[in-house]
Structure 1
Amino acid sequence: MRLFPLAGTLLLSLASVSHAQAYHIADHWQVGGQGGWDYILSDDAAHRLYIAHNARVEVVDTATGKLIGAVTGLKSTHGVALNPDGKTGYISDGAGNAIVVFDRASLAVKATVPAGTNPDGIAYEPTTKTVWAFNGRSKNVSVLDTSNNTIVATIALPGKPEFPQADGHGAVFVNIEDANSIVKLDAQGKKIEGTWPLTGCESPSGMAIDHAKHRLFSVCDGKKMAIVDFASGKLLGLASIGDSPDAAGFDAKTGFAFSSNGEGSLSVVDTGKAGFPTIQTLATARGAKTMAFDAVTGKIFLGAAKYGPAPAPTAATPRPRPTILPDTFEILVVSR
């Protein structure tokens, strides 16, 4: 999870995408509740959206926009990973320093497994049937065996990890925020296989993956998206995006990569064209920095809320952030 400066509303800009094909905000789903939120995950097949929202994970029906329920009793949620069995999910509970295992039908907690300090990004690795929780403060990754819900490895990392992706063939990749790099991990050997510098990419956070073309898309400070060939580790280019990004997405059907930016914009990058041009910048809402992409419908889901005034500065917090107003949290639905 990344903090972000707040900026004014941006204007919609189109480059090489026609007006008829432009992304737009199609709906607002009111969720409510209190506090901040982090990563959002779409379960495309089940038509469900999982939202890490303060001390709970809320579940929304993406066919209706209605709240189904929530996984509760947690401390500070960050991310969600799903088992392909269709029955089980996993939550990184940052303040709880744990991986929380839950039943996707009842949303009941099945197990709470101690992890490292402040687990944040989380991913399921299918070849080993393991869950990888990346611990921001202890700078390591906890590997959970899903057959018995035990930690089978703890791997030290060369810096603070952010968002991960698994390639489905035994490799897990993660952005290292304070080292401006990507680490490749061997899931079978449970070890680091390589570290790739992201030249021109400061503080990488969100990451998306193109499985077919073997590419990773890391969004960075300085309004850049780094495109990396994960077969070789080569940096292919830097695309221009909005300010203060925290999440990325990729549509295999169109070849478009997305960056959700805390300034209040969604950047659309055409990865099929030379130079990786940004073809649209959609005004969203300030603070709408995390997103999920539904590969079936092509819709993008963004978390947003309204803000009150910032508290007075203190020596400990010289630049306090505005408060999130209770019951204003919503999901912005973006479509073409």
Structure 2
Amino acid sequence: MKNTATLALLLLNFCAATALQAQTKTGIHLLNTHKVSGSDKWDYLLAEHSLNRLYIAHGTQVNILNAMTGDSVGVIANTPGVHGIAIVPALKKGYTSNGRTGECTVFNVNTNAVLKTIKVGDNPDAIFYDDFSKKVFVFNGHSLNVSVIDPVKDQVIATIPLGGKPETGVSDGKGNIYVNIEDKNEIVNFDATTFKVKKRFKLEGAEEPSGLAIDRVTSRLFIGCSNKVLLVLDANTGKKISSLPIGEGSDGVAFDPQLKLIYSSNGEGTLTVIKEVSNNQYTVLENIKTAKGARTLALDYSNHHIFLPTADLKPGEGNKRPVHIPGTFRVLTFGK
């Protein structure tokens, strides 16, 4: 009887664990694959739901796709070493960060016509538009600073020294900008209107922070790191709330405020999905198979689609990075 009861208990626990595992499956899967012309390196991409467009930084150009069909709707050419894209909807303008020339290209989002170029810092990388201050912030990897662009005048109105190599930046919508400093393992917080650095948060247990997202409601920062962890920080105090396992090679993090889901795109070929249960409780739901090299992502908040660029890769010579195989560049669309 004792053995029977023990076996029944084990079976019950197994069934409960299986049921729990089934419940944690997100239902997120590959919806579409869109081929993209060109054969050079890629970095960030932007999903602009108001225009139903995907802007993809790709070598020396920005490819623009219809986000639903994948059809090409334009190209912003002559953007050498482009890293990122920002859109200012009210002004119908877009901005690209051109790493090789230290410039931002300004274009009309309706016609895709180039309006002008703006000189910024050395090797501009991440870029975004802050809806609070109505400014475009450009994070310069080599000059270790931020160029602040007034999109009405299309001029740099301030330069903010950061004391380290910046990666991704986000806004809390209340006047605070946060940026992860890759070579210092820290987060810098500066004022969106005075452009003064306010705080520095050291990241314990983190290496080379890259992707960054924020929950504006709970004031939580989500930081993807190269040592396969995602840190959750209190944006007000810098206190570490949680540390969660993610895949290798994370270079993009996004937060869906409606679904309360955090996504980490990992170059190993996985998408880690984390649930924000509460402002202090987080759990990994699933690691979804994507494709090797899919290390950055963009999220369309209107339909919850996740976009990941990648290409087929072959080993580089010696210790060099893998080489992109021409004609295989594509964007993967994941969702329910």
TM-score normalized by the length of structure 2: 0.91
Following the alignment from structure 2 to structure 1, what is the Cα–Cα distance between the partners of residues 271 and 281? 19
Following the alignment from structure 1 to structure 2, what is the Cα–Cα distance between the partners of residues 306 and 101? 31
1:333 is aligned to 333
Question: Is 1:62 the counterpart of 2:70 in the alignment?
Answer: no
Query: Is the Cα contact below 8 Å between 1:17 and 1:279 reproduced in 2?
Result: no
- The higher radius of gyration belongs to 2
1:50 is aligned to 55
Question: Is 1:218 the counterpart of 2:232 in the alignment?
Answer: no
State the Cα RMSD in Å: 1.6
Within 5 A, what are the aligned runs for 1:177-192? 177-192=182-197
Following the alignment from structure 2 to structure 1, what is the Cα–Cα distance between the partners of residues 191 and 51? 30
Following the alignment from structure 2 to structure 1, what is the Cα–Cα distance between the partners of residues 44 and 94? 14
CA deviation vs aligned residue, 1:230-281 (integer Å, no higher than 9, x gap): 1222221111110110000111122110000011110001121565221100
Query: Is the Cα contact below 8 Å between 2:79 and 2:96 reproduced in 1?
Result: no
Query: How far apart are residue 113 of structure 1 and its match?
Result: 0.7
Structure 2 residue ranges without an equivalent (≥5): 1-18
Following the alignment from structure 1 to structure 2, what is the Cα–Cα distance between the partners of residues 127 and 19? 36
- Which of residues 91, 97, 100 in structure 2 aligns to 1:95? 100
1:8 is aligned to none
Tell me which stretches of 4 or more aligned residues in structure 1 moved more than 6 Å: none
Within 5 A, what are the aligned runs for 1:172-251? 172-251=177-256
- Select the structure with the greater relative contact order (CA < 8 A; seq sep ≥ 6): 1
- Which of residues 303, 316, 332 in structure 2 aligns to 1:310? 316
Identify which range, 102-111 or 256-265, moves more after superposition: 102-111
Following the alignment from structure 1 to structure 2, what is the Cα–Cα distance between the partners of residues 17 and 84? 41
Question: Is 1:73 the counterpart of 2:78 in the alignment?
Answer: yes
Within 5 A, what are the aligned runs for 1:226-305? 226-272=231-277, 275-305=281-311
- The residue matched to 1:18 in structure 2 has which SS? helix
- Which of residues 24, 38, 42 in structure 2 aligns to 1:33? 38
Following the alignment from structure 1 to structure 2, what is the Cα–Cα distance between the partners of residues 81 and 52? 11
Query: How far apart are residue 19 of structure 1 and its match?
Result: 7.8
**AA of the residue aligned to 2:323:** T
2:3 is aligned to none
Query: Is the Cα contact below 8 Å between 1:15 and 1:279 reproduced in 2?
Result: no
Query: Is the Cα contact below 8 Å between 1:118 and 1:136 reproduced in 2?
Result: yes
* Residues paired across the two proteins, number: 317
**AA of the residue aligned to 1:70:** V
**AA of the residue aligned to 1:297:** N
Structure 1 residue ranges without an equivalent (≥5): 1-13, 314-318
Q: Aligned residues: percent identity?
A: 37
